Amino acid sequence: MSKILHKQYENGLGEIVLNRPEAINALSFEMLEEIDRILRNWEKDETIKAVLIKGAGERGYCAGGDVKSFYYAQGDAEKLEVSKAFFTFEYKLDDYIHYYKKPIVAIMDGVCMGGGVGLVNGAPIRIVTERTKWAMPEVNISLFPDIGAGYFLNQCPGLIGRYLGLTGNMINGADALFAKIATHYLSSSDLPVLYERLETLDLSENVQGNLETAIENLAKAPEIHGIFTDNIEEINERFNFDTVEEILEALENGQTPFAKETFASLSTKSPISLKVTLKMLIESIGKSYTEVLATDLILATNFLTLPDFYEGLRAVLVDKDRKPDYFYKNVAQVTTEDVEKLLAPV
């Protein structure tokens, strides 16, 4: 069965379903190519008025890009070129979707991570539920938050974007709404009702307005609690530094449960990833989405030469022992030159 399903409804709604539920719809190169083909055809098709993107299965919308295969490419020049091509195509598709000419409705129910976020963060309507588990977890595999994260994380209130990028922590739907990562919050039980309404909705005019009205009629305030409401002031205080060392010190000196938990979380991340991520986030301020993606491609290409990236993949996705033996044991070992080298065009 195809890993990307698509159909058109009589009212002009085009629906794309990521259909790899056994892998929480993780994105392969072939899936990206098929999504690109469908969207480009629909953009030229005057009968298509809007697009709905969602995932198949009960576990979630999308677990991200299928980067496990990258582990087996290390040391193989031909396979490394395939890895580079994956990043190149993925970022071009994300950029294309960000500026897509027709409204896109994204359903971020269940797991929504990494490359899956990249596909839909540019959609004008992004829906979460009480089942949403959103994350940019790249620091866990010694990578960095890519897919344009330097753009949209900097749009979060305060310094929430730094918290999300540096910790890689998972947040729920309430947090995603608070962070402006999502535009609407619905109960997962209302999604079937929403789909029925969207499939018959009048899309002959005022397309986005009619979509938003239909969604807002079902939207509600989150029934679950998130961490940002209680901790936004502390996040702004403890992440308001230009170096990872200073952020770690501020957290280590904190006496609150949030400070202690966040310090413990950061202490488990890849040191080189932490330093690159903070540098990338700071330098992305004020840049366009396209400009941020250009930097992402430079970084991603250079990370493919970094032994710690493959060690992160091994520990988290291959052997799954969660015990990476990184070359960089702590952030003090990561020099400014190490970071600048990864940011330098190949």
Catalytic residue among 15, 66, 109, 138: 138
DSSP string, 292-339: HHHHHHHHHHHHTT-HHHHHHHIIIIIS-------S--SGGG--HHHH
How far apart CA 184 and CA 161 sit, in angstroms, is 19
Catalytic residue among 64, 110, 114, 115: 115
Nearest to 133 by CA among 174, 104, 163: 174
- Determine how many CB atoms are found less than 10 A away from the CB of residue 72: 13
How far apart CA 61 and CA 155 sit, in angstroms, is 23
Q: What is the dihedral of CA 261, 265, 271, 274, to 10 degrees?
A: -80
DSSP string, 144-211: ---TTHHHHGGGSSTTHHHHHHHH---B-HHHHHHTTS-SEE--GGGHHHHHHHHHH---SSSHHHHH
Q: How many CA atoms does the CB half-sphere of 311 hold within 13 Å?
A: 16
Phi, psi of 218 (to 5 degrees): -110, -15
Which of helix, strand or coil describes residue 131? coil
How far apart CA 303 and CA 292 sit, in angstroms, is 16
SS3 assignment for 105-123: EEEECEEEEHHHHHHHCCC
How far apart CA 180 and CA 220 sit, in angstroms, is 15
The Cα-based distances of 81 to 19, 29, 56, 304, 306 in angstroms read 26, 13, 30, 10, 15
Catalytic residue among 12, 64, 65, 122: 65
Catalytic residue among 94, 146, 308, 311: 146
Residue count of the chain: 346
Q: Is 146 a catalytic residue?
A: yes
Nearest to 158 by CA among 142, 146, 175: 175
Tokens of 3: 């890993």
Q: Is 95 a catalytic residue?
A: no
Q: Is 65 a catalytic residue?
A: yes
Task: Name the β-bridge partners of 184.
Answer: 127
Catalytic residues: 65, 115, 138, 146
